[in-house]
Structures are given as structure tokens and as C-alpha cells.
């Protein structure tokens, strides 16, 4: 540690070490109710961790601070719950929900970590999950299978299984199952938008359990996740056989060799009338916006609400660090308040109508013409 030419203070080091320890505990923790272990024996790529992200960021931004895992007062946490199993392989999630009145239900937010579909783990977004939960949401951070273990579309099957689990267990965890959000950062942002764009498409459901429940989401928060793997901003990194891109590793081949898979995995391929309201929260790095403007244009054509928020001068992974963490939280809560203010809670499996709203940031009014059915 002393050999690293980093300007990381004692507090930063303590937060990083603590957060990494939590990550290892989550990756290998056992449930007291079930003698299972989450992720044991799974091949891992550890190139993207809180430490590696901090090491990179602090070189250019020495005064930023890594967001810490500190459970807020008034929030309950339940960790290491198995939501899907493939033979002996168990995928786990953590739930954070408001404490207090057990009769009340709250919108649910599935939170999907990044790491280029090859690395990272769900513990990295626990601080955001805790903070969102403190504002009246039930948040869920979930595992999904990464490229060293399973290629696309395994990860898609897993995040859809996580949404189905949320609906199947809505009563126990106080989730309003008519209002579920997909929130993701980087690769997780792409998966969040994929969840939204493929609402109702059976081909991506997989075999992860709770097949009787819907995997539809009613809103998407995409934090610096691309939308189009076929764009020049994506494919220009796919030209060095000795150094395959993250997407190439996830798909198991280059765009040149398997273009159909790259198209199949792009959220923009499926964008249309069933795409839910979406906020795009972006860094200043254009590569991570690939397909965003085209996606917004498609949504506008169908009268679907969207917001674009850019944090000038920010690096990728900005959401892990203060002060950008706070701005990301602010934009997220403002968007969800706008969307769900238009979607009053309904009982049963009714379609949620979204009959008009406006973006306070852009000052424009957007009328949604088609009801969003939760299925």
C-alpha cells in the first residue's frame, strides 16, 4: 500500500478497506436460514473494485470522497438472500427498506452494479441503495453472472429473475409491485435500460425462478450506461485481438465476427412503446453515452418521458464519490418523484397510466400516449 503513489488519506483508506471487506463478506456469506454460500467457487475478475476505482480517481481528483456503507437511521437491511439458483450456483441479493409501519408499501428499486459485465459486485452500490431507501423506497442490490462465469445473455436472465423475485416477495418486503424501477451504473446502466426496453419479451426471461411473476419495470435510471453496442463509440474499441474489449469478452466474440449478438444485446434494438420513463445521468465521457440521443428520440416519438442530466467534467464511476454521489442521488429522487407522482399506487395487476408530466430541468411537457402495463 505504501508503494502506491496515491494521495489517499486515512479516512479514504479506511472506507475502501471496509467496503472491500463488505464485498468479500457478501460474495462468500452464508444465509443462516439456508446453508448456502453466495458465489463460492465462481471464477472472478477483480480488475474493478472500490480500491481500483479510487486509485484511478484520486490521481486527478484528490479531494473527492468515496461514499461509505453506513446504514441510515430508519432503514432496515436484510442481506444475502438467495433469489435464483442454477444447480449449486446461488445468486443473492440484499434488501434495504424503510423501518416502521409494516402495512405500508413502497416503490421497489433494483440496483445493478457495473464493471464492464466482467467484474464488480453488488456491494459497490450498497451506499446508494441505503440512501435511496431512506427516502421511501425498497432497494435491492443483486448478483448477476459475469463474463468469466457465463456469457451474454446470462446476466440479463439474472436481473430479470431479480425483478420477478421482488414481485413474488412484494408482500413480505413491503414492495409496491406496480412500481418497480431498474437502476444501474455503467454496465449495470446498460442492463437497466435493457430491462426496460425488453418489457414483456419472453425470450429474455431465462430459468431463474418465479416464472409466474412479471419482470416488467415502470422506470429506468441509467447512470453512464451505453444503449447501442453497434455505434462507432462502441465498436472502435473492438479492433485489437490482443486486448478484447469488455463487450467482446461478454459476448464471446468481436463485432466483426458476431454482429448479430452485439445488435441483440443493445437496448436500443428493442426501444419502443413499452419502454418506460428513463433518466440518463451521464459523465463527460462520450463513450458511455453511445446510443443515448437516438434512444431519447425514439422515446419522444412514442411520447415517453425522459430526462438527460450531465455532470460536467466528471470521470466514469463518478457515482461512487462525493460530491457526485449526492448529485446522482438528487437527480434520481427528483426523477422518481416526477414519474411516480403520475402513477398512483394500484391494487392488483392493473396497468399503470402515465397521463402527462413535464421535465422540470428541460422545461418541456411530455404526454405519454400508451399505458404502461405491468403484466
What pLDDT score was predicted for residue 39? 75
Residue 236 is given by DSSP the state T
Judge whether 105 lies within some domain: yes
Judge whether 260 lies within some domain: no
Judge whether 47 lies within some domain: yes
Give the residue numbers spanning the domain of 223. 10-228+266-366
Judge whether 248 lies within some domain: no
What's the distance, CA 124 to chain centroid?
Answer: 11
Q: Spell out, as residue ranges, where the chain has pLDDT lower than 70.
A: 1-36, 232-234, 236-239, 342-375
The domain spanning residue 220 has which CATH number? 3.40.50.1820
Global pTM reads 0.85
Judge whether 241 lies within some domain: no
- d(CA 20, CA 66) in angstroms, rounded, equals 12
Total domains in the fold of the chain: 1
What pLDDT score was predicted for residue 13? 46
Judge whether 193 lies within some domain: yes
Judge whether 190 lies within some domain: yes
Q: Are 140 and 111 in contact (CB under 8 A)?
A: yes
Instruction: Cell 408499501: give the residue.
Output: 105
Q: Which of 6, 99, 10 is nearest to 53 (CA)?
A: 6
Judge whether 371 lies within some domain: no
What pLDDT score was predicted for residue 342? 67
Task: Please confirm whether the linkage preceding 323 is cis (ω < 30° from 0).
Answer: yes
What is residue 179's three-state secondary structure? strand
What pLDDT score was predicted for residue 3? 35
What pLDDT score was predicted for residue 243? 83
What pLDDT score was predicted for residue 372? 38
Q: Are 108 and 176 in contact (CB under 8 A)?
A: yes
Amino acid at each position: 500500500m505504501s508503494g502506491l503513489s496515491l494521495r489517499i488519506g486515512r479516512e479514504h483508506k479506511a472506507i475502501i478497506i471496509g467496503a472491500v471487506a463488505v464485498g468479500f463478506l457478501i460474495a462468500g456469506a452464508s444465509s443462516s436460514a439456508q446453508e448456502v454460500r453466495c458465489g463460492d467457487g465462481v471464477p472472478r475478475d477483480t480488475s474493478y473494485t472500490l480500491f481500483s476505482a479510487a486509485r484511478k480517481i484520486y490521481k486527478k481528483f484528490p479531494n473527492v470522497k468515496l461514499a461509505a456503507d453506513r446504514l441510515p437511521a430508519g432503514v432496515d437491511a436484510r442481506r444475502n438472500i438467495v433469489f435464483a439458483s442454477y444447480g449449486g450456483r446461488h445468486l443473492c441479493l440484499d434488501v434495504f427498506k424503510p423501518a416502521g409501519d409494516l402495512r405500508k408499501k413502497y416503490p421497489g428499486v433494483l440496483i445493478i452494479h457495473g464493471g464492464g459485465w466482467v467484474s464488480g459486485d453488488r456491494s459497490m452500490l450498497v451506499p446508494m441503495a441505503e440512501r435511496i431507501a431512506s427516502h421511501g423506497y425498497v432497494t435491492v442490490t443483486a448478483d448477476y453472472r459475469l463474463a468469466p462465469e457465463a456469457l451474454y445473455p446470462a446476466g440479463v436472465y439474472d436481473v430479470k429473475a431479480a425483478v420477478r423475485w421482488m414481485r413474488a416477495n412484494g408482500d413480505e418486503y413491503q414492495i409496491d409491485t406496480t412500481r418497480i424501477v431498474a437502476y444501474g451504473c455503467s454496465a449495470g446502466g446498460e442492463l437497466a435500460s435493457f430491462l426496460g426496453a425488453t418489457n414483456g419479451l419472453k425470450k429474455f426471461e431465462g430459468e431463474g425462478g418465479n416464472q409466474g411473476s412479471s419482470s416488467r419495470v415502470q422506470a429506468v435510471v441509467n447512470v453512464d450506461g451505453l444503449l447501442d453496442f453497434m455505434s462507432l463509440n462502441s465498436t472502435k474499441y473492438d479492433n485489437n485481438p490482443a486486448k478484447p474489449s469488455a463487450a467482446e469478452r461478454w459476448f464471446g466474440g468481436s463485432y466483426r465476427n458476431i454482429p448479430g449478438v452485439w445488435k441483440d444485446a443493445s437496448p436500443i434494438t428493442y426501444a419502443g412503446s413499452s419502454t418506460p420513463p428513463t433518466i440518463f445521468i451521464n459523465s463527460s465521457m462520450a463513450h458511455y453515452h453511445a446510443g443515448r440521443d437516438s434512444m431519447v428520440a425514439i422515446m419522444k416519438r412514442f411520447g415517453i418521458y425522459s430526462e438527460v442530466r450531465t455532470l460536467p467534467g466528471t470521470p466514469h464511476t463518478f457515482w461512487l464519490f462525493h460530491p457526485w454521489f449526492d448529485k446522482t442521488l438528487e437527480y434520481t429522487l427528483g426523477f422518481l418523484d416526477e414519474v411516480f407522482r403520475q402513477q398512483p399506487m394500484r391494487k392488483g395487476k392493473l396497468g399503470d397510466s402515465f397521463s402527462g408530466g413535464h421535465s422540470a430541468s428541460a422545461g418541456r411537457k411530455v404526454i405519454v400516449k400508451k399505458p404502461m402495463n405491468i403484466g
